[in-house]
Amino acid sequence: MHLLVFGRNGQVGHELQRRLPSGVTVTALDRSTVDITRRDDVARAIAAAGCNVVVNAAAHTAVDQAESEPEAAFAANADGPAFMAEACAAGGLPLIHISTDYVFDGSKVGAYTEDDPTAPLGVYGNSKAAGEQAVRERLPEHVIVRTSWVFSAHGKNFVKTMLRLGTERDALRIVADQTGCPTAAADIAHAVLAIARQVADRPAGTPWGTYHYCGAERTTWHGFAQAVFDLRQELTGQPNPRLDAIRTEDYPTPTRRPMNSEMDCRRIAQAFGIVAPNWRRSLSEVMHELLNTPTRS
């Protein structure tokens, strides 16, 4: 099986390249090799790849920045997926497209299911919702994977920000009233690879559509930060900074965040046999890598 991956330098794209099983090869592209906001560039890249499955892990993910540059956000998050879906339809290829919890407004009590209506709060969420719809309209043979609170040892993410700030300050103010499920980029990569194996030949009865995939066990940003520093202390002996729990209104940002990002992942387990591990286990692996400490045998 040969994959074409857009977004090679993102967290998920990076992990996809690191974790290829035997018999799977990849062509991974970034913005220096193809501009996903240009239809012809995308079509040429897909036609030339000789792949079985296309994976879109590329996105404009600067959530707050998107508010001041909506054209760029929609070009990457809506137009890009549309062009990929068109080219996949022309080439008879399936597309796996990574999306986000930000398509929801976070007002639901309980975990979001794939059937819940979307209601984005800002430009980023609206652009990602538009990208999902563009894929659905252009390519029946797609799998959209919504995920949340992505972290890894690569790129920009909450875990790395906490570790940096924890060396600079004795106390940190962390939002404690937003709930979600952290998800390791490596786990997303494993899920994408598992889906790709099952859809590569487009077998009859393939359960195309939209799925949720995130780490097991909900928490808050404050709880996530506490887990990060507890692991750091365990691995290095460094004392924890004081973590002051604050409300969302105490930490204003250009974009409103969903207060509840928990997603129900039963459908992806039923359709593809994929069950997300507890994020704490995955966090331990990432922390070992970031802190360069040996993992337990």
**CA–CA gap between residue 203 and residue 141 (Å, rounded):** 10
- From residue 40, how far is each of 28, 80, 84, 87, 149 by CA, in Å? 18, 11, 10, 9, 33
Give the chain's mean pLDDT.
96
Q: Provide the whole-model pTM.
A: 0.96
CB 107 within 8 A of CB 261: no
Residue 166 is assigned to a structural domain of this protein: no
Using DSSP, state whether 220 is helix, strand or coil: strand
* Exposure letters 148-169 (e unless 16+ CB within 10 A, then b): bbbbbbbbebbbbebbeebeee
Percent of the chain surpassing pLDDT 90: 97
Report which secondary-structure segment, H or E, holds 242. strand 242-246
Burial (CB count <10 Å: 0-12, 13-18, 19+), residue 218: middle
Residue 238 is assigned to a structural domain of this protein: no
Selected catalytic residue, list 124, 211, 213, 251: 124
Full residue range of the structural domain in which residue 139 is found: 2-156+182-217+262-277
Residue 190 is assigned to a structural domain of this protein: yes
pLDDT digits (tens, 9 = 90+) for 209-231: 999 999 999 999 999 999 999 99
pLDDT digits (tens, 9 = 90+) for 256-277: 999 999 999 999 999 999 999 9
Q: Which residue intervals of 200-274 are DSSP H helices? A: 221-236, 266-272
Percent of the chain surpassing pLDDT 70: 99
Phi and psi torsions of 88, nearest 5°: -65, -40
11-28 mean pLDDT: 95
Q: Is the pLDDT of residue 295 over 90?
A: no
pLDDT digits (tens, 9 = 90+) for 80-130: 999 999 999 999 999 999 999 999 999 999 999 999 999 999 999 999 999
The per-residue pLDDT for 103 is 98
CATH label of the domain that carries residue 150: 3.40.50.720
Residue 17 is assigned to a structural domain of this protein: yes
Q: Would you place residue 297 in the very low, low, confident or very high pLDDT band (cuts 50, 70, 90)? A: very low
The per-residue pLDDT for 292 is 87
Residue 75 is assigned to a structural domain of this protein: yes
69-74 mean pLDDT: 97
Structural domain total, the chain: 1
Using DSSP, state whether 76 is helix, strand or coil: helix
Residue 289 is assigned to a structural domain of this protein: no
The per-residue pLDDT for 296 is 53
pLDDT digits (tens, 9 = 90+) for 144-175: 999 999 999 999 999 999 999 999 999 999 99
124 annotated active-site = yes
